[in-house]
Structure 1
């Protein structure tokens, strides 16, 4: 029924079988790891292709997304105003509430300029 290109090799001893299986497992693990990294990179590229990269400057007034647990359909989606206090990295900023000077770390996906 099966059409083998070459006849299957049967190891002569348990040592050769163990070494062969260990090599096969290492090769399979390496292939799976590379495949996983390749798929992660493709997923990141697809995500980043539709994402804007807004830049805010220190002192700019912004509003932030309301993440309150008591939020309902009549609540505001954004609250503020806040002032950009510090840029941590490309996607993260520290904002300062203009009313009580409280600092909050927030990502650009939750920020909107006024």
Structure 2
């Protein structure tokens, strides 16, 4: 009997226009279509466990990159990259202090699409 053919992995962004971008040692697929939709962008952002840790941490209050990188146990550059993606998606806002430090703040209203979607299933 012949060995079974390998099953192709299905990526959550299959079917959507994306661009591949190097993130560390792997390639990330980032949505590029403006019609991808606010809902899909928010769900895509919170699907990543590290992004959820960032969101959980920022829900407690504003933070700098150094504090956030300790929480997710990642380098400052990796954390900055994640925060810039979250900022582009509207989940995080950035404020620059007088000393030049960047302070990140959660924009909880950006999580509204998740709440709206879940409300359909909750009593």
TM-score, shorter chain, exceeding 0.5: no
| TM-score (normalised: structure 2) | 0.21
Higher strand share: 1
| TM-score (normalised: structure 1) | 0.22
